Structures are given as C-alpha cells and as structure tokens.
C-alpha cells in the first residue's frame, strides 16, 4: 500500500469536524454576513456553535472550507466539443468561503445554461439546455457531500451536456436504492448544517426529488470514489440564434392556433385536476379540440398527466410564447 493510500484511508476514518485545519489564522467575515442576512444573531460562541473547532480548541477542516481564505476550489471546465480534446476555458472558484465559491459557480452556470427554442404544432417553446432547478441541486449536493480528501468538486460543460462530479461515491451505509428513494445521509454534517441555515439546501433529500422529477436514474453514475451526474441538453431544441441545435424541430402544422393552447394551459394552472369536460366548458372549445390540444402538449413535453381518472396535470414548460 502506498503512502498516499494510507493517508487517504486514515482520512476516511475521521470527518471534517475531527480533522485539523492546515491553517489556524482563519477569519469568517463572509460566513457571518451570510448568517446575519438570514436573521441570525452573531455572538462570541458563533464558531463553536457550528462545530468548527476540535476539542483542543483548534480549527477543524470544516472551518478551513468556510473561512474567508483557504486553499480549496471548485473547478469548472468548458470544452468546444463532446470530448475533452479542445479545452475552451478552465476556471477555479474558491480560495474563499465555500458558500461564496458555490454562489459564483451557480452564477457561471446560470450564464452558460442558455435558452433553447422549439417550434411545435401548438407553440414556440423555450427551455434551458438543462433544467435549472435540477442542475442547481446537483451542484450544491456535489459541494456539500464531496469527499475533500480525494478531490474537489468538478463541473464540466460540453457541447451536448453538463457533467457534475463529486468525490467519494455514495456515503458509507447509503445504498443506491436509498439514494434514489431520496433518503439523506450527509457526508459532511457541518457543511450541511451551514448550507441549510442559509437556505441553500435542506436535510430531507428534497433536492434529489427535484432532480428526479426532471430526469430519470440514468443520469447518475457511481463508483467507489466518485458520483457523476450527467445532464444531457434538451433534444429537439435549437439555440436562440438558430445554431448548435440538436434538432430544429420544424415539423409544424401551419393551421395551429396558439391561443387555444394558452387558454387550455391557463385553465389547468387555475385547476390542475380539471377534467376534459370542464376544460371544454371553461375554454368554450369543443371536447375534441381540447383533447387534441392536450395530446399535442403532452407529446411536446409541455404537459404531463399524473394519475388517471382522479389524477392531475403538471405543467413542465414555464416559458411559452406565440409562434414567430
């Protein structure tokens, strides 16, 4: 066994709370600002209350990650194609409070996650390349649950997907069935508490629920050392300038009426459990027209039916505009 392997195994027997910080001259002004912004009162016991010290009084590794200055970062790499041959940009966000670094990564991904458009028989639809809520949850989960003894979290942007990688694989004791059932077992409890206090995450696995409401299990890949989440770009959409689209989606019925679809959606927004007959009555449209419109919207990914007779409608696309 190599020296590095022995060091890694030794680390895995401890936690961020029980591992000493490589620096002891730490300050926490950024962290205090985040807490004050959420209405917390900062007192002399602030650091101790967050379990950021060892029993000997020294700062632990959780404190190091949350300090104003540190040596940790989150990597964001962008490639021109579908592989790692042509690196366009390679940035590191960090060397400061982990919350600040996380916020800057999310700002970067917000700018990268462009809006795509698709013409359908009913509407001109607009979607982000990747579901914004799911991407946010995956990145924050990667940062909070990362095993910093192995590596830092990494986000990679390709021409057809965004990949989020965290080190450490699944937390020991958490099975894949547990994981997909949205059961929570935080690797780094101190980080989880802080991120929860400032309302960037929650304890009960709701983030996983948001991801799985937009994508299926296939986007996740597991190994003993890493957990990888791959978000494919939306199919059938093209970029706003008409380039780099996976499919232009121009199979359009020229006789469509976008106002019909919008009227149906407005009725569903007001009453997600509305029936076909009630939709016809509310919109003053024939039952056949409403049924045809509902099918077109389901086929286009605008609507999803949950349940059958006593089910409800779920609107999947928020931005809907008239066809140009």
Q: For the segment 58-101, what is each residue's pLDDT rounded down to a tens digit?
A: 999 999 999 999 999 999 999 999 999 999 999 999 999 999 99
pTM of the model: 0.72
- pLDDT at residue 5 greater than cutoff 50: no
Distance CA 142, CA 308 (A): 36
CATH number for the domain including 314?
1.10.10.10
In this prediction, residue 289 has a pLDDT band, given cuts at 50, 70 and 90, of: confident
Query: Does 222 lie in the same domain as 84?
Result: yes
Burial per residue of 14-23, b for 16 or more beta-carbon CB atoms within 10 angstroms, e otherwise? ebbbebebee
Together in a domain, 187 and 102: yes
Q: How confident is the model at residue 8 (pLDDT cuts 50, 70, 90)?
A: very low
Q: Over 90: is that where the pLDDT of 310 sits? A: no
Full domain range(s) for residue 311:
254-321
Instruction: Please tell me whether residues 91 and 151 are part of one structural domain.
Output: yes
- Do 158 and 198 lie in a common domain? yes
- Tens of pLDDT, residue by residue over 204-249, are 556 788 899 889 999 999 999 999 999 999 876 665 444 444 433 3
Do 240 and 185 form a contact (C-beta atoms < 8 A)? no
Neighbours of 217 (CB within 10 A): 9
102 vs 141: CA distance, rounded Å: 11
Specify the CATH number for the domain of residue 110.
3.30.565.60
Residue 312 pLDDT class (50, 70, 90 cuts) = confident
Lowest mean pLDDT among 166-170, 294-298, 315-319: 315-319
Q: Are residues 99 and 223 in the same domain?
A: yes
Q: What's the domain count of the chain? A: 3
Model pLDDT, residue 64: 98
């Amino acid at each position: 066994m190599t020296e590095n392997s022995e060091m890694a195994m030794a680390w895995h027997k401890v936690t961020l709370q029980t591992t000493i910080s490589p620096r002891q001259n730490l300050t926490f002004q950024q962290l205090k600002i985040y807490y004050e912004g959420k209405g917390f009162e900062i007192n002399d016991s602030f650091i101790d209350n967050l379990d950021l010290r060892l029993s000997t009084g020294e700062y632990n590794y959780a404190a190091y990650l949350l300090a104003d200055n540190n040596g940790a970062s989150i990597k964001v790499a962008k490639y021109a194609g579908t592989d790692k041959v042509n690196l366009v940009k390679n940035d590191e966000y960090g060397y400061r409070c982990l919350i600040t670094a996380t916020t800057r990564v999310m700002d970067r991904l917000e700018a990268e996650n462009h809006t795509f458009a698709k013409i359908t028989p009913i509407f001109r639809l607009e979607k982000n390349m990747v579901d914004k809520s799911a991407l946010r949850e995956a990145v924050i989960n990667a940062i909070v649950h990362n095993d910093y003894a192995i590596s830092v979290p990494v986000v990679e942007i390709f021409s057809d997907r965004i990949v989020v990688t965290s080190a450490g694989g699944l937390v020991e004791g958490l099975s894949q069935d547990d994981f997909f059932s949205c059961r929570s077992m935080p690797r780094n409890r101190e980080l989880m508490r802080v991120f929860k206090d400032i309302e960037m995450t929650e304890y009960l696995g709701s983030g996983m629920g948001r991801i799985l409401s937009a994508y299926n299990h296939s986007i996740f890949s597991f190994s003993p050392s890493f957990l990888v989440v791959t978000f494919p770009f939306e199919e059938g959409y093209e970029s706003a300038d008409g380039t780099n689209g996976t499919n232009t989606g121009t199979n359009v019925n020229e006789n469509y009426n976008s106002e019909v679809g919008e009227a149906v959606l407005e009725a569903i927004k007001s009453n997600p459990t509305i029936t076909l007959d009630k939709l016809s009555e509310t919109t003053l449209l024939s039952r056949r027209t409403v049924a045809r419109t509902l099918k077109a919207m389901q086929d286009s990914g605008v609507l999803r039916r949950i349940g059958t007779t006593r089910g409800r409608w779920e609107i999947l696309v928020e931005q809907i505009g008239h066809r140009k």
